[in-house]
Amino acid sequence: MARFLIRRLLHAALTLAGIAVLVFFGLRVTGDPTLLMAPEGATLDQIDLLRRQLGFDRPYLWQFVDHLWGLARLDFGTSVVQRLPAGSIVLARLPYTLSLAGAAFGLALCGGLVLGILAASRRSRVSGLMARAVILAGQSLPTFLSGTLLILLFAIVLNWLPSSGADAPGALILPALVLGAYSMAVLARLVQAGLSEELGKDYIRACRSRGLGRGRILLHALRNAAPALLAMAALEGGNLFAGTVIVETVFAWPGLGHLLLQSVQARDFPVTQAVVLMVAGVYVAANLLADLAHAALDPRLRARLS
């Protein structure tokens, strides 16, 4: 287990380094990074000055070493627009995104589990059919559409909840609902698939022939399907974190996603880069946790690893 832990940690570090390389070269292969950061209408002299200030006139190797050294110290450069460290701008927005993503993920987990169990275990009953319909609709309804429709209903027609911002009480409800609903459908689909597979196995037939009740059988199947499902749930958590970009734009929620879009529009590249690296870091961490949880919970996987 210890060797597995070390290997996975190394792997995660390697992946993060890979992303840093990807960002560095992605920026330079496709064009001139100084032009990306220069405000529109800048003169050639101003661009030259900016290039020197950013250190982009030096050899690539030095820039690259600098880039990695900066990242290792969590220094993402300085925002072109706000003249503040990009890292601290990003950190200031992080709590908003974490609370939104956390609320949505809780909703997605609970709802996804219930819907998935219904869809898998009550195949031909009304409740199962309805669960499947909800899963299908949820997967086909993009967040910007469901968000817009909920704003229309709850903010404009009924006037119960605020349509944007994060200050008013209850402001979290609509964005969390929208973000959670999509992930809920995705998770429910995974639970449905995992549980269906488990319910088709021989030991379930054995349980059934020994006269076990529905609930007991379901518990058996769930316990065996749980580790793999948990791992997938952690991955979906990472996706949900990325999905905040759209939801935060719809609801003007002042989190990372909103910041990402603002920085793209303002050509504030250091901030864009910092958000991308931050989200990738969260995603890699979620991946790592998923693998560790999977190994910790599933003796079969542990046996295979050692």
Partner 1 sequence: MSGVVSGQKKRDPALFGAVFLLGLLSLAALLAPLLAPHDPMRQMLLMRLKPPGFSPGGGAPFLFGSDELGRDILSRTVFSLRLSLLVALSSSGLSAILGVFVGLVAGWRGGGIDRLAMRLADVVLSVPTLILAIFAIAVIGPGVATLIGVLAFARWPRHARLARAETLRLREKSYVQAARLAGAGTGRILFRHILPNAAGPLIVLVAAEVGLMVLFEAGLTFLGLGIAPPQPALGAMLGSGRLYLDSAWWMTVFPGLAIFCLVLALTILSDRLRDRLDPARAAG
Q: Which residues bind partner 1 (CB under 8 A)?
A: 11, 14-16, 18-19, 21-23, 26-27, 30-31, 36, 119-120, 123, 136-137, 139-145, 148-149, 151-152, 156, 189, 192-193, 196-197, 199-200, 238-239, 241-243, 245-246, 249-250, 260-261, 264-265, 269, 272-273, 275-276, 279-280, 283-284, 287
Q: Closer to partner 1 by CB, 45 or 270: give it.
A: 270
CB of 156 to partner 1, least distance (A): 5
CB of 249 to partner 1, least distance (A): 6
The rounded distance, in Å, linking the Cα atoms of 59 and 96 is 39
CB of 98 to partner 1, least distance (A): 16
Q: Closer to partner 1 by CB, 114 or 141: give it.
A: 141
CB of 107 to partner 1, least distance (A): 20
The type of residue at 284 is V
CA-atom Rg of the chain in angstroms: 24
Q: Closer to partner 1 by CB, 45 or 225: give it.
A: 225
Instruction: Give the tokens for residue 138.
Output: 């949820």
The rounded distance, in Å, linking the Cα atoms of 31 and 29 is 6
The rounded distance, in Å, linking the Cα atoms of 137 and 184 is 11
Task: State how far Cα 191 lies from the chain centre.
Answer: 19
32 by DSSP, 3-state: which? coil
Beta bridge partners of 47: none
Instruction: Give the tokens for residue 4.
Output: 């597995």
Name 55's Cβ contacts closer than 8 Å, sequence gap at least 6.
62, 63, 66
The rounded distance, in Å, linking the Cα atoms of 123 and 218 is 13
Instruction: Give the tokens for residue 21.
Output: 């390389």
The rounded distance, in Å, linking the Cα atoms of 32 and 208 is 67
Q: Closer to partner 1 by CB, 21 or 84: give it.
A: 21
Q: Closer to partner 1 by CB, 45 or 269: give it.
A: 269
Q: Closer to partner 1 by CB, 24 or 45: give it.
A: 24
CB of 306 to partner 1, least distance (A): 21
CB of 114 to partner 1, least distance (A): 16
Q: Closer to partner 1 by CB, 82 or 139: give it.
A: 139
Q: Closer to partner 1 by CB, 45 or 300: give it.
A: 300
Do 260 and 272 form a contact (C-beta atoms < 8 A)?
yes
CB of 99 to partner 1, least distance (A): 19
The rounded distance, in Å, linking the Cα atoms of 37 and 43 is 13
Closest CA to 2 of 210, 289, 292: 292
Name 231's Cβ contacts closer than 8 Å, sequence gap at least 6.
290, 291, 293, 294
